[in-house]
A and B are shown apart, each in its own frame.
Chain A
Amino acid sequence: MRDWWLTRFPIVFKWIDDLKQYRVPKNLNVMYCFGALAILVFIGQWLSGLWLCMFYTPSVALAYDSIQTMVRDVSFGWLLRNIHVMGASAFFLILYLHLLRSLLYGSYKKPRELVWILGVLLLLVTMFQAFLGQTLPWSQMSYWGAQVLTALLGVIPGVGDQLVTWFRGDFVVGDATLHRFFALHVVAIPVLLVGLIVFHVIALHQVGANNPDGIEVQSSRWDEETIHFYPDYWRKELLTVLFFLMIFFSMVCFFPNALQQSDHFFPANSRQTAETIQPMWYMLPYYSMLRAFPSKVGGVVVANCALLIWFLLPWLDKSAVRSMRYKGIWSQSTLIGFVLNFIWLGYLGSLPISRFILVMSQFSVLCYFAYFVFMPCYTRYELCRSLPERRQ
């Protein structure tokens, strides 16, 4: 049997052998579970999305009705839809915690820069995918959110208006836009995401996983200091998967509308502006940056720079040590400040605009960029703790 496959499709054995041989440091803690959870949620989104596609009609006249029919009349249609909508929020919570792990333990430093770059690319593509998916129900929030965000392309001087028309497929957001957003959301971006995930994992397996101490396992002590990924570490991850599923299904079954706004429940009406145009919670920090500057160009440039600066992180961090456990007081306090500021910026994005909110948002944006811009300075010159000889 094995020989039959070996002569015809040997690469399967290479993958299985890689997985069997892959080992991870034995001191990985709970912050390391989010990669597997992300893959789990991605597969969940793909499966629930597949079934949703069987009932959804991507046209302006029928989209909202088709979803209502699905959640009311189709057996367990409500479950599929809630899994998909809540899954998007779960996906971003997991991705942000996954990112936090990398910031905490220096998983982006040499030789893992490519893993990091692919990861940031995954985050950006997932944000785009979430925006596209949000447009599909054709609710008030869908329509007006699409209107606002596609109009942002118009800030590019010269070709701005043509680009907006090209992207929308029409002069205004309408049927053409919905159709192409459906095609992108269902076909193009999932394929891109699968490809990026595969490359991300391949790049990771090439360099091996980091660990909370940030100290590489010495090759002489490889067998004592690492455990098999399968079945030992995989069993640990399965427990976290079970806890995640408990929380996830509690939200899906008991609080499905917790993260929805009123405008998600009204069908799109181009003649009536939505009550509050606001993206979902995971995009609020960047939306807040967009709003913080009165100039449209300024807001777009700042928000885009804030997303793109993540790519530079491996080269901004000049510290001699990887993990926050051994970094100096500057790195530790600025990371805490950054995380709190990010959450605060998100909260400001949910409030209606006023002079006071504008000023606070601008200050928060400054703090956000300060974390990155001053990083080469404080990481190089701060006093770090010396690394232990033996890993704990």
Chain B
Amino acid sequence: MKASHFFLSVYFFFSLFGELSLGFAENTASISIQANQSLRGKQAFLMYCHTCHTLKYAGYTTLNTPKTDLIKWFGKMPPDLSNIASARGQYGVKRFLNGFYPDQTRPFGSNNQQFLNVAMPNILGSVTDEQARQQLITDIDRYLSEVSDPNASFRKKIGVAILVFLIFFTVCFWFAHRY
């Protein structure tokens, strides 16, 4: 049997195996933990952020606070947060929420290291328990990342499958090319 035939059949077998293993990638036990974290994040967002910020692409388009009031208090409309996690990068939201410090020259008494002279007050500053506050920040960060990029986990799985396919095809083609 020619070497090229052997390597081609190796490639076909492996790509079939690769496609099947994708189906087992979803671990059923981990789904409920993820759903729980996602729910906590959504609740935290609705409780602390949704007063002023809309989340258009997750379905939260209307605010209870009137638009005129928001513009009066902050000078401009608080931005929609649907893509904020993509805009600010992997650690941007966390750094922002952790970056508030007291500053008496500002109208609400706080400024932000990440976003200087931000119009937003330190909403999470009212949470006195530091551990609970950090948990809230983690949950909100995770939820906003999920809303920004809902296909992230699927995309990474597809990426691995594509790379595996390409590497094996390259290897088999290299040997078929040589002989």
Contact = CB atoms under 8 A, between A and B. Distances in A.
Contact of B87 (A78, A246, A252, A266): A266
B155 interface: yes
A250 B155 contact: no
B110 to A, nearest CB: 21
Given A245-B166, A250-B163, A266-B83, 16 more contacts: A71-B151, A79-B158, A235-B177, A238-B173, A242-B170, A246-B170, A249-B159, A253-B155, A253-B162, A254-B159, A257-B86, A257-B89, A260-B86, A264-B87, A265-B84, A272-B76
A244 B115 CA distance: 38
B79 interface: yes
Contact of B151 (A78, A239, A260, A263): A78
For chain B, the bracket of interface size reads 20 to 34
Nearest to B158: A253
Chain A interface, DSSP helix/strand/loop, else mixed: helix
A238 B166 CA distance: 12
20 contacts: A68-B57, A68-B82, A68-B83, A79-B158, A235-B177, A239-B170, A239-B174, A242-B173, A243-B170, A246-B166, A249-B162, A249-B163, A252-B159, A253-B160, A254-B159, A256-B155, A263-B87, A265-B148, A267-B80, A272-B76
Interface string B148-179: 10110001101110110011011001100100
B88 interface: yes
A264 B89 CA distance: 12
A73 to B, nearest CB: 9
Contacts of A250: 159, 163
B83 A265 contact: yes
A265 B87 contact: yes
A364 B79 CA distance: 39
Interface of B: 57, 76, 79-80, 82-84, 86-89, 148, 150-151, 155-156, 158-160, 162-163, 166-167, 169-170, 173-174, 177
A180 to B, nearest CB: 27
Contacts of B173: 238-239, 242
Interface of A: 68, 71-72, 78-79, 235, 238-239, 242-243, 245-246, 249-250, 252-254, 256-257, 260, 262-267, 272
Contact of B163 (A235, A246, A262, A263): A246
A294 B79 CA distance: 34
Chain B interface, DSSP helix/strand/loop, else mixed: helix
A68 B173 CA distance: 39
A253 B167 contact: no
A72 B166 contact: no
A272 B170 CA distance: 49
B162 A239 contact: no
B163 A239 contact: no
A272 B79 CA distance: 12
Nearest to B85: A265
Nearest to B79: A266
Nearest to B166: A246
A254 B156 contact: yes
A256 B86 CA distance: 10
Contact of B159 (A239, A253, A265, A267): A253
Contacts, number: 60
A262 B93 CA distance: 12
Contact of B166 (A71, A235, A249, A252): A249
Contacts of A79: 155, 158
B47 to A, nearest CB: 24
Given A72-B57, A250-B163, A266-B79, A242 B169 contact: yes
Nearest to A261: B87
A285 B86 CA distance: 26
A79 B152 CA distance: 11
A241 B79 CA distance: 43
Contacts of B76: 272
A386 to B, nearest CB: 37
A-B residue pairs, 5 tightest by C-beta: A253-B159, A265-B87, A265-B83, A262-B87, A242-B170
Contacts of B177: 235, 239
Contacts of B163: 246, 249-250
B166 A242 contact: yes
Given A249-B163, A254-B159, A265 B86 contact: yes
B174 A72 contact: no
A228 to B, nearest CB: 15
Nearest to A267: B80
Contacts of B88: 262
Contacts of A257: 86, 89
A138 to B, nearest CB: 13
A72 B150 CA distance: 7
Contacts of A267: 80
Nearest to A243: B170
A357 to B, nearest CB: 21
Identify which of B79, B84, B87, B156 gathers the most chain A CB atoms within 10 Å of its CB.
B87
Contacts of B156: 253-254
B70 to A, nearest CB: 15
Contacts of B170: 239, 242-243, 246
